[in-house]
Structure 1
Amino acid sequence: MTEQEGQQVPLFSFGVISDVQYADIPDGTSFHGVPRYYRNALVALQRAVSSGWVPAGVEFGIHFGDIVDGFQARDGQEKSEQALSDVLQAFSQLPHPTYHMLGNHCLYNLPRARLNKRLGITPLLDPAAAAEGASYYAFSPHPTWLFVVLDAYDVSLLGWPDSHPRHLQAEALLAQHNPNKEKNSPEGLVGVARRFVKFGGGVSEAQLAWLEQQLQAAKQRSQNVLVCSHLPLLPDTCPPACLLWNYEHVLQLLRQSGVVVATMAGHTHQNGYLVDEAGIHHLVLPAVLETPPGRDAYGTVEVLADRLLLKGVDTCMSAVVKLSAEAVQRQQAVLQRLAAAGAAAALGGDLQEVQQQGFAESAAAAAAAAAGGINGAASAASDLVVEVADEQQQQQHLGKAGAVSAAAAVAEQLQAVNLHAS
């Protein structure tokens, strides 16, 4: 079905899955008696990627942490490395990147630096985060969007040497807020105070400053933002013990920015979904680990002109995240600029000249400019490639044909956004 018949064409799409927690050990249960299917988790992941994400044509995947279960570490680091290799091999069935974040079970198995390297996080780090040995980063899968990946264990007893400042900070926080001798226990703690447990964590002041910078930059670029974290950020989307330690500070930054559309998290092993007072959607994904054999727990997300469409499979919930009018307008502004630039390339002029001619005076005009130059310019470029014998000139014309094709794609996306901006 075409968009004219009622179905939008996504700007892009991606796969989501959480808490694979594979281990090459017999099945067991959680501390609460919930069955855990350690070896089947790998089978379920393989099916999610090969039978779900690949046929859906997603551009990338996101795993929300806890890639190998902590019990695997009992058999030594070599077994942890092998289990991680098995899981990464399953993800490699997708011929596109999968983005990862650290969970507590990751840190039970391997050192932070090793995880950053093997999960492909190291090349994504900015210099400050890399120097700290942290694991937070951001990437832009489309000009209209920025994805921010938090390191929820930046301040934690896990993953840092005992003498590290972040370990010492975590130690002090737990001593202040959790009187239990066993710091993994929230016994006696009430409400959101139950989050102060050893298997939790928080973000550092340095990461908060970085997050604020990322959000400000996104606002300047008219980008919408999706925030990813292993630990959930909003009470009532999860049991209190699963919340990020300093979730309030993170939420304050997200709400003040005005550009965050949604957050997504894992860790709880349960579906969760709420919209907060600022209109930010908070989604929490279930665990592959606790999905019985033959069942599934993953989804795909289509990013459309006016919403995000989470298509959950089996035990994974589905959700429609409607974009605010402001979010739609931000997408429109970015695509308008791209359409103007594409029109300039397609018509052989520069961007300033195209803008002066009025091609970018409005979103509709920019789309018309790009679309108007598409057929004729593409045909002309194709004809010239056939006629020109010089190889270098052929490459130049092929480059122009590519620019025209890109302009066409941007114009199509802009026209879709325009339908929902008025």
Structure 2
Amino acid sequence: MSIANGLISRKEQPLFSFGVISDVQYADIPDGRSFLGVPRFYRHSILVLRRAVEDWNSRNKPKLKFVINLGDIVDGYCPKDQSFTAVKKIADEFASFDGPVYHMIGNHCLYNLTRDKLLPVLKIQTPENLAYYEFSPVPEFRFVVLDGFDVSAIAWPQDHPNTKAAVDFLVEKNPNLDKNSPIGLNGLERRYLMFNGAVGKEQLEWLDGILMESTKLNQKVVLCCHLPLDPNASSPEALLWNYDEVMNLVHRYKCVKACFAGHDHKGGHSIDCNGIHHRVLEAALECPPGTDAYGRVDVFDDRILLYGTDRMKSTEMIFAL
């Protein structure tokens, strides 16, 4: 065996490998800073993605089966008259990968385009503009992509029932006039912000059915959502509103082995009470020029190895029995 990127690389071949990246948040605007003062490199982020795709396509490495983008491909500060062009530009960069690319929607995507325009560009083909789906790259594994903005104040037309439910929810949970402000909210209550959202009832029922079927098929499941699902891997401000409800459902089964997320740009990793790994990916947007944040993931029967590049930390995720 050998050491690579801080991880032990064993001689056996993985069942399959895939690429990961999150929060590219490209915009053709000068560099800026987050609300907390963290530098953001809007024009450089497309170069991070370009180098990632070149690496993923490298003939000197074993071929990747697919790539997963954890959301937010264009930034909310992107000029609105450039939104469609910018989203299409980044989607085309992803499309230069030699294989399938699975996208999920993030809040910044939704600041730029409505669902009916966004989902076709991302090739998310679901009925009624829903953005949750699943796929099985090999019979032993199933990937489930959740729509964390199913119930959301920013993701649907103003007269949509999901918008009304989200607005009513925020009025109840967040007393601030600015619903993106956590001032006065304590602990995990700080997740009740307008740029987050929830998984709705029908999606929960769908997830329950998928997990039940995966259990019968003896499949291992990897759950993916733009919004993190565990407080120990994320800042409270970035969590899915009803992460606890989702994880209570997940914990009824033993098939879910890992959860991948974006949104909280600094990244994080935790193992929850049921032994499920939660890996929040570091953002491509916050890479200074010349640095990167993307990864290659090797999947084995008993573990997942994330080999991170530069700012993305390598992580070994050994499955609980």
Aligned to 2:77: 71
Q: Give how far 1:92 is off.
A: 1.9
From 28, 34, 38, give the equivalent of 1:30.
34
Q: Alpha-carbon deviation of 1:94?
A: 1.1
Shift of 1:324: 3.2
Greater relative contact order (CA < 8 Å, ≥ 6 in sequence): 2
Q: Which of these residues, 39, 52, 55, is aligned with residue 51 of structure 1?
A: 55
Query: Quick one: which amino acid aligns to residue 171 of structure 1?
Result: V
Matched, 1:322 2:308: no
Structure 1 or 2: larger helix share? 1
Q: Deviations over 1:51-108 (max 9, x none)?
A: 2454442111000000100111x342xx111111221221122110110001000000
- Aligned-pair distance for 1:31? 1.1
| SS of structure 2 residue aligned to 1:161 | coil
Q: CA deviation at 1:28?
A: 0.9
CA distance in 1, matches of 2:64, 2:50: 15
Contact 1:53 1:300 in 2 (8 A): no
Residue of 153, 156, 161 corresponding to 1:157? 153
1:110 pairs with 2:91 = no
Residue 232 of structure 1 is matched in structure 2 by 228
Hey, what's the Cα distance between the residues in 2 that align with 1:75 and 1:198? Answer: 20
Aligned counterparts of 2:177 and 2:270: Cα–Cα separation in 1: 34
List alignment gaps of at least 5 residues for structure 1: 326-422
Q: State how far apart, in whole Å, the 2-side matches of 1:12 and 1:41 are.
A: 27
Q: Give the counterpart letter for 2:19 in structure 1.
A: G
Call closer, same or farther: CA 1:53–1:196 in 2, change over 3 Å.
farther
1:174 partnered with 2:170: yes
| Offset of residue 19 of structure 1 | 0.2
1:92 to 95, 98, 120: 95
**Alignment match of 2:195 (pick from 188, 199, 205):** 199
The code of the aligned residue for 2:51 comes to R
Q: Deviation of residue 6 (structure 1)?
A: 5.2
C-alpha separation in 1, matches of 2:23 and 2:262: 7
The equivalent residue for 1:13 is 17
How far apart, CA to CA, are the structure 2 residues paired with 1:43 and 1:191? 36
TM, length-normalised to structure 2: 0.95
User: 2:201 and 2:10 mapped to 1: Cα distance?
Assistant: 46
Question: What is the CA-CA distance between 1:306 and the residue it aligns to?
Answer: 2.0
Structure 2: how far apart are the matches of 1:193 and 1:96? 40
Query: Aligned partners of 2:41 and 2:291: how far apart in 1?
Result: 11
Give the share of equivalent positions with the same residue, in percent.
47
Residue 253 of structure 1 is aligned with which of 249, 269, 290?
249
SS in 1 for 2:233: coil
8 A Cα contact 2:220 2:257, kept in partner? yes
Q: Counterparts of 2:133 and 2:174 in 1: how far apart (Å)?
A: 30
Tell me the amino acid that sits aligned with residue 246 of structure 1.
Answer: N
| Structure 1 residue 304 displacement after superposition | 1.4
- Checking the alignment, whether the CA contact within 8 Å between 2:115 and 2:155 is kept in structure 1 is yes
TM-score, scaled to structure 1: 0.72
Letter aligned with residue 16 of structure 1: V
Distance 1:261 1:53 in 2: 27
Secondary structure at the aligned position of 1:286 is classed as: coil
Please give the alpha-carbon distance, in whole angstroms, between the structure 2 residues aligned to 1:300 and 1:51: 9
Structure 2 residue runs of 5 or longer lacking an equivalent are: 2-8
Aligned partners of 1:80 and 1:110 also within 8 Å: yes
Relative to 1, partners in 2 of residues 1:54 and 1:165: Cα closer, same or farther, differing over 3 Å? farther
What amino acid does structure 2 have at the position aligned with 1:87? I
Mapped partners of 2:187, 2:65: distance in 1: 39
Equivalent pairs, count? 313
Contact 1:15 1:53 in 2 (8 A): no
Larger radius of gyration, structure 1 or 2? 1
CA RMSD of aligned residues (A): 1.5
2:68 partner amino acid: I
Amino acid at match of 2:117: R
Asked if residue 189 in structure 1 is aligned to residue 185 in structure 2, the reply is yes
**Equivalent residue in structure 2 for 1:219, among 215, 218, 227:** 215
Instruction: Give deviations 1:170-215, integer Å, cap 9, x for gaps.
Output: 0111011000000010100000000001101001001000010010
Counterpart of 1:12 in structure 2: which amino acid?
F
SS in 1 for 2:11: coil
Letter in 2 for 1:15: G
Offset at residue 272 of structure 1 (A): 0.4
